Amino acid sequence: MELASFLAGERWSDRPACTHPLLAHLARLVNDCTSDRSRPKLAPLIPSVIGLTSKDPRWNHEIALLTATTALPVVAEETQRALAVGILSVDRMLADGDGREPGTLRPETERALADVPLAARWARDFIAHGVIGPVRYHPGPVILDFAVPGIATACVGDADDRLRELLTSAIALCQELARAERGATADTTAELRPEQWLLVVSPAAR
């Protein structure tokens, strides 16, 4: 995110104004949890986060739901339980905007939870007995803090690829949200040529 701030002409920071805070948090976590060997593969994504920001709370909900459902199949059981609670909470936050009836879930949320029935049942019981009334804060950062390290430490051989694909999907999601919000079809990514960010990323260039 520091490189994104530099390319956007902002003060050097890992929390640039040019990127949605939760998307930036996801990018930092993915960068930190990716192995040294695979981290350079994240460099082409840097320009894509520039200009992707909004004050619409729906962005928080969508990013969190995408991250949680992506991590859910591979993380450890205890993490699955925490993520299932987050998924149910965030999906409920999206219901009004989706035009859904209260208590119903998105089909993709239903499918994700169906793949982990024990965690889903635990989460529903926890919410029924532990959470009263509407969710009064956004759990996005906490969901990401469970999900991304959970993928990195999962018993899979392609954790780095999964992390990169997650960040790529989140960027694409935010681009779609930005287009819908602005009512335009123009691409929202920065117009940067590969050689421009390579000059920044490459140690030889420094």
The model's confidence at residue 6, banded by pLDDT at 50, 70 and 90, is low
Question: Within a 10 A sphere around the Cβ of 131, how many other Cβ atoms?
Answer: 13
* Residue 205 belongs to a domain: no
Residue 59 has pLDDT above 90, yes or no: yes
DSSP labels, 110-162: HHHHHTSHHHHHHHHHHHHHH--SS--S--HHHHHHHHHHHHHTSS-S-HHHH
Q: What is the pTM of this model?
A: 0.82
Q: Which residue has the higher pLDDT, 184 or 35?
A: 35
* Residue 193 belongs to a domain: no
For 152-181, what is each residue's pLDDT tens digit? 999 999 999 999 999 999 999 999 999 998
* Residue 149 belongs to a domain: yes
* Residue 206 belongs to a domain: no
* Residue 83 belongs to a domain: yes
Nearest to 44 by CA among 77, 10, 4: 4
Q: Residue 86's domain spans which residues?
A: 1-178
Residue 194 has pLDDT above 80, yes or no: no
* Residue 146 belongs to a domain: yes
* Residue 196 belongs to a domain: no
The number of folded domains in the chain is 1
Residue 195 has pLDDT above 80, yes or no: no
